[in-house]
Structure 1
Amino acid sequence: MREETRAERQAQIERAAYRLLRERGYGGTSMLAIAREARASNETLYRWYGDKNGLFKTMVEANARETREALLRAIEAGDDPLECLENVAPVLLSMLLGERAIALNRAAAADESGELGAAIAAGGRNAVAPLVEELLRRACEEGSLAASSPSTAAEQFLGLLVGDLQIRRVIGVLPEPEADFVEARVFTAMTTFKSLCGSSCID
């Protein structure tokens, strides 16, 4: 199968999985049901993803890919780390508050097995947070930031950026934010974060 054809089929499978996830939750969404919804063979799903947990982990990783790639480019480019963080923050926040992330988190909250929550942690936060930490490590080394450690700085920044917004989205009291809301939130988070930091990190 050609690479672009496989990518198209995977996108169809993942869209079908999201539809069923919203309707049935994680426990009620089987590989067979996803295969039928996507008009694919059950064998193909198991060959490509291994099992249901593998499929959803792939979906989480795909949802976080733009943020992760933007952070990697910023780290590799060696540009001003705080400026890079400010540029990436809207992408990160939009991803975390987007419909796909919210569907995954709602399903994870109802999944007693904990499988989906583990997949979200592995493919989402655990893949992105270390890159934020690396940017802040560089800011510390360059003397533009002060914190007890880069990991503490990353936790502080993510707390200021996200706060309880994702929880409010998951429980349905906050609509998907518009671009101006995201821009204002990023500005406030960055301004507050910079005001809390001085000129050097203690590692």
Structure 2
Amino acid sequence: MKTERQAQRRQQIEAAAYEVLAEKGYKAASMLAIAKKASASNETLYNWYGNKQTLFRSMVAENARQARQLLNSFEENHDDPLEAVRQLGPVLLRVVTGEKAVALNRAAVGDVHETGQLGPTIAEAGKRTIAPMLAEVFGRARAEGLLDYDDREDVAQVYISLLIGDLQIERAIGVRSVLDDAEISERSQRAWRLFLKLYATDNSGR
């Protein structure tokens, strides 16, 4: 029970950290400001996280965990690996361009001249989650004769580039607002069509 309560409290603290980050920016997002927003003690935050950088790294890890769960759920619920990726595309695009991901990317920029640790943490989290799992799904598609390519890691990166492109950067620097459902659907479908033109075999039936 204690562990469950602590997990819920951590979620509340990290939600408060996102709010403070949006309101104040990374440099002004102090542990004290986050503690006040979460109605928690400053001592609790330091006991659990140690410092602000560790808190935000924990938030990155949680985002990566959620992305991994999404990939797993789509793969488990579809016998056809390509259909799993096709349906995952809009969901993945919404996650990586959403407010939480944008807030963390902006925080990483703000941390460049402090510790310089948050950016590499975000990059590493992405490498460990989305790309490798997509590569595994595309590997299964090739084994079933649905795709033709040489390197599955390269193919995963191509799909990510087609789907996301510069959107994360554009969102982080404020030149793009949150994508609406129509934009997400259109971009996802376009990325999928281009991807199939590059790699789909006649056996794919697409």
The 1-side partners of 2:46 and 2:131 are apart by: 30
Relative to structure 1, the CA distance from residue 44 to residue 124 in structure 2 (aligned partners, 3 Å threshold; closer, same or farther) is: farther
Match of 1:39 in 2: 39
- Looking at structure 2, the residues matched to 158 and 81 of structure 1 have their Cα atoms a distance apart, in angstroms, of 16
CA contact (8 A) 2:102 2:171 kept: yes
2:146 corresponds, among 129, 144, 147, to 144
Q: What is the TM-score with the length of structure 1 in the denominator? A: 0.86
Q: Please name the residue that 1:123 is paired with.
A: 125
Offset of residue 50 of structure 1: 4.3
TM-score (norm 2): 0.85
User: How many Å apart are 1:7 and its aligned residue?
Assistant: 3.3
Q: Distance in 1 between matches of 2:99 and 2:126?
A: 15
In structure 2, C-alpha distance between the alignment counterparts of 1:103 and 1:70, rounded to whole Å: 20
**1:30 maps to what in 2?**
30
Q: Which residue of 1 aligns with 2:175?
A: 173
Tell me the residue number matched to 2:85.
85
Contact 1:161/1:189, CA 8 A, preserved across alignment: yes
Q: What is the percentage of aligned positions where both structures have the same residue?
A: 46
Aligned to 2:53: 53
Q: Return the offset for 1:197.
A: 0.8
> Residue type matched to 1:190 in 2?
W
Q: Deviations over 1:139-164 (max 9, x none)?
A: 11111112221001001000000011
Code of the aligned partner of 1:131: M
Partner of 2:159: 157
Distance in 1 (CA, whole Å) between partners of 2:76 and 2:45 is 35
AA matched with 2:87: N
Contact 2:67 2:92 in 1 (8 A): yes
Q: RMSD of the alignment, in Å?
A: 2.3
Counterpart for residue 6 of structure 2: 6
CA distance in 2, matches of 1:183, 1:94: 10
Q: Sort the Cα spacing of 1:51 and 1:111 in 2 relative to 1 into closer, same or farther, 3 A.
A: closer
Gaps of 5+ in 1: none
How many residues are treated as equivalent by the alignment? 200
Shift of residue 172, structure 1, vs aligned partner:
1.3
Task: Name the SS for the 2:129 alignment partner.
Answer: helix
Q: Distance in 2 between matches of 1:128 and 1:50?
A: 28
Paired letter, 2:145: G
> Which residue pairs with 1:99 in the alignment?
99
Distance in 2 between residues matched to 1:123 and 1:44, nearest whole Å: 26
Contact preservation (8 Å) 1:58, 1:123: no
1:18 aligns with 2:12: no
How far does the alpha carbon of each residue in 1:71-115 deviate from its partner, in whole angstroms, 9 at most, with x for none? Answer: 123444562111101111111100111111111112212322321
Q: Deviations over 1:106-132 (max 9, x none)?
A: 221232232111221233443221111
1:17 shift after superposition: 1.2
Equivalent-residue separation in structure 1 for 2:165 and 2:43 (angstroms):
41
Q: Structure 1 pair 123/31, CA: closer, same or farther in 2 (3 Å)?
A: farther
Which one of 193, 196, 200 corresponds to residue 195 of structure 2? 193
Greater shift in the superposed pair: 29-38 or 114-123: 29-38
Counterpart secondary structure, 1:144: coil
